[in-house]
Structure 1
Amino acid sequence: MTGKTFVIGVGTTPFAKPETRAWQYWDMAEEAGQAALSDAGIGYDLVEQAAVGYCYQPSTAAQRAVYELGLTGIPVYNVNNNCATGSTALMMARQFVAGGLSDCVLALGFEKMRKGALGAGADGGDFSASPVARHYGVMAARHGFAATPPTAQIFGNAAREHMERHGTTRAQLAAVAEKNHRHSVGNPHAQFRDLYELEEILGSRVVHDPLTKLQCSPTSDGAAAALVASERFVGERGLERRAVEIAGQAMATDTEETFASGSCIDVVGRPVSRAAAERAYAESGLGVEDVDVIELHDCFSVNELLTYEALGMCAEGASGDLVASGATTYGGRWVVNPSGGLISKGHPLGATGIAQCAELVRQLRGAAGARQVEGARVGLAHNIGLGGAAVVTVLRR
């Protein structure tokens, strides 16, 4: 990685409950892609490659999607990395540019999902043929396997362990959801824009104890796009005022540390998130103390707390106190998930990581409207997928 890389254009569709909007995945992809091109002020003819992420559409869906933008014959890569798919596509686009292979690359992510909780391809807890067999095996050995949605189980059990180990309270878990639902009110593209009191969140239907419905991200339809360009491309076209630098970026996958402890806290990704963050900080020359605004993977409220610790925002076990203190909302040390996060903005798997990037680009440009973080200069995105991969991106204006 030798060349500087910049995001010059971003676009997102509204995130919506599945089956509530009459569109196909290629329609949403075109909408997001065209928005990114318009934001950058360039034509699709200048895009040299495309990395396109999704989880639930068939093979070569990437081509079907980008063909709506133009039939230019460029290389198109189909990307699938579970919930980290979008950020993986973004990282691929950046590598093409940083390595000098291309000057302008499109990163695009989309998902058209079905109603209901995500399954994990297992019947009665038999995950032997699943890509996440090791992960759910750790959970089953310690907690058994219940009749609740598998992803809610594994994160719910991580929450139980955190409560037992560190004294984290149900109210602290719910405080994450209260904050993110409150933030989403200012996001016109969020799937949910309702305010909830802490008591309402605690009193909503239990999905897997201690997690209630309002602490869980929904299934969603939607798309997001980002254009990544070289320093030369930016300079030649006078795009400096639009450009936001990708100062550091790293992906980490599981090591023995994930599984050795027998803990769901490790299995759901705290070690890989920590490793990715350390590498991204090292590349950027920045630390969490330099960051102003963060978009992180709050698929369940507990994962936001675990990610605080992985990113170095607080000591291990202190994340419950951190959110309760107000340090991660407006007026605090950082603003975390000003978009509403996955819990309230929505979680179309292939789009999520790129939508995080889009939110941060808008924040660093000072163009986030009602949810603007005052004086934001450095942003951090964290996107994780079980199975597993974590991508951390540091953006700088």
Structure 2
Amino acid sequence: MKRRVNVIGVGMTKFAKPGASAEYYEMAKEAGQKALQDANIQYNEIEQVFAGYVYGDSTCGQRAAYELGLTGVPIVNVNNNCSTGSSALFLARQAIEGGLAECVLALGFEKMEKGALGAKFNDREPPMGQHAQVMLNVQGFNSAPPAAQMFGGAGREYRWKYGTKKETFGQIAVKARKHASNNPYALFGQVLSLDEIMASDNVFDPLTRFQCCPPTCGAGAVILCSDEFAKKHGISNPVYIAAQSMTTDYASSFQEQSMIKMVGYDMTKQAANQVYEAAGIGAEDVDVIELHDCFTANELLTYEALGLCPEGEAEKFIWDADNTYGGKYVTNPSGGLLSKGHPLGATGLAQCTELVWQLRGTADQRQVANARIALQHNLGLGGACVITMYRRD
């Protein structure tokens, strides 16, 4: 029988621009210490560590975790592109659920460089070669950052299919900035109007600069444990993981010659369906959501993939304000990747941290009233999608 997995400690750093952050191991130390303090336990009670990062040499996870203690525990380094943080969480959850450990730390961090993401190894086949081939077949290449071409191309495909206005995508960024203005951990706290969003530099139709997440530095940490461990430490009514799923690319990602499918729509849809079935809870029961808004186009697509609205109705969903406070769902109360920032290895754990705060009722000005069920969506091209549902009774 699978064991329940509880989230007893969370912590994160304030996100920063490249060149303005501490060293990666210092950020990891801060996030890890916050999570330990939140859980009210010592590092020597951690039995395993899963450390996630994308840009760094091998065993950066050890260097980061050693700042918390030198206890000889297993430390596994995780790299799954932008879903790295949630992939570390996925492994930590499996260890608890399967009875292999009682208390595990998922630690994520990233010290990023300025500018768009680029390849580090140019002497071999890139891991996203199949994705790039779809893009070449469908729309070709230009000088814009590759990720913006991919997600922008998906947004353009959606726009042509449903007649969606460019301003609809911009309105998502307006919401993100408004939410982030109440988040002291966010990189961008300045509220922007739709006119300001749309007037920013064009990146790739329909995306403007303020509709693209920035390179970011930061760290996040989450401590999971079993019911037995929680009881032993006097922890009552913790937030727990109701269901979790990871999917990778399907044949449709490449065979259908669709930019929407190539950037992970089916990965998201299948993972969401698996989570809803395992938890016995549908999308309509969710109160608050942190989803992977690396670009406004992906947030729009994800509304439909998660079942928050029917296919083809995301534009109405956005203009009806059903994606914010007072609507059907509050999406990305943290400001999301667009405004909170996106340090790749930390993002999934920062999402988890925000949702745990929401379910505890400690999210201050961002608090979603009476939140009891939360959904997290973390996507990495190449590819992997991790969806996690959290509950508090």
Q: TM-score range by the shorter chain?
A: over 0.9
Deviation for aligned residue 1:93: 0.3
**Within 5 Å, which residues of 2 pair with 1:15-54?**
15-21=15-21, 23-54=22-53
**Partner of 2:315 in structure 1?**
320
Deviation for aligned residue 1:231: 0.8
Deviation for aligned residue 1:207: 1.1
1:201 aligns with one of 187, 197, 203 = 197
CA deviation digits over 1:312-345, x for unaligned, max 9?
1111121121111100100011000000000000
For 1:128 and 1:204, locate their aligned partners in 2 and report how far apart those are by CA, in whole Å. 36
For 1:343 and 1:225, locate their aligned partners in 2 and report how far apart those are by CA, in whole Å. 20
CA deviation digits over 1:125-159, x for unaligned, max 9?
xx981100011110111101001100000111111
Q: Does 1:363 align with 2:358?
A: yes
Deviation for aligned residue 1:380: 0.3
Which residue identity is paired with 1:310? Answer: A
**Partner of 1:111 in structure 2?**
110
For 1:169 and 1:117, locate their aligned partners in 2 and report how far apart those are by CA, in whole Å. 26
In structure 2, list runs of 5 or more residues that go unmatched. Answer: none
**Partner of 2:170 in structure 1?**
174
Query: How many aligned residue pairs are there?
Result: 392
CA distance 1:121–1:68, shift in 2 (3 Å): closer
**Within 5 Å, which residues of 2 pair with 1:182-221?**
182-221=178-217
Deviation for aligned residue 1:120: 4.3
**Partner of 1:394 in structure 2?**
389
The percent of aligned pairs where both chains have the same amino acid is: 53
For 1:5 and 1:332, locate their aligned partners in 2 and report how far apart those are by CA, in whole Å. 30
**Partner of 1:60 in structure 2?**
59
For 2:119 and 2:141, locate their aligned partners in 1 and report how far apart those are by CA, in whole Å. 13
**Partner of 2:12 in structure 1?**
12
For 1:58 and 1:248, locate their aligned partners in 2 and report how far apart those are by CA, in whole Å. 32
CA distance 1:227–1:178, shift in 2 (3 Å): same
**Partner of 2:128 in structure 1?**
132
For 2:359 and 2:96, locate their aligned partners in 1 and report how far apart those are by CA, in whole Å. 21
Which residue identity is paired with 2:20? Answer: T
For 1:396 and 1:102, locate their aligned partners in 2 and report how far apart those are by CA, in whole Å. 22
Query: TM-score with structure 1 length normalisation?
Result: 0.97
2:286 aligns with one of 287, 291, 310 = 291
Deviation for aligned residue 1:121: 5.8
**Within 5 Å, which residues of 2 pair with 1:89-168?**
89-120=88-119, 129-168=125-164
Residue 11 of structure 1 aligns to a residue in which SS? Answer: strand
Cα contact 1:120–1:150 (8 A) shared by 2: no
Residue 364 of structure 1 aligns to a residue in which SS? Answer: helix
Deviation for aligned residue 1:350: 0.1
Root-mean-square deviation (Å): 1.2
**Partner of 1:373 in structure 2?**
368
Which residue identity is paired with 2:4? Answer: K
For 1:356 and 1:208, locate their aligned partners in 2 and report how far apart those are by CA, in whole Å. 27
Q: Does 1:77 align with 2:76?
A: yes
For 1:312 and 1:150, locate their aligned partners in 2 and report how far apart those are by CA, in whole Å. 28
Deviation for aligned residue 1:236: 1.4
CA deviation digits over 1:182-237, x for unaligned, max 9?
10001000000010000110110011121001000000000000000001111111
Query: TM-score with structure 2 length normalisation?
Result: 0.98
In structure 1, list runs of 5 or more residues that go unmatched. Answer: none
**Within 5 Å, which residues of 2 pair with 1:252-291?**
252-291=247-286
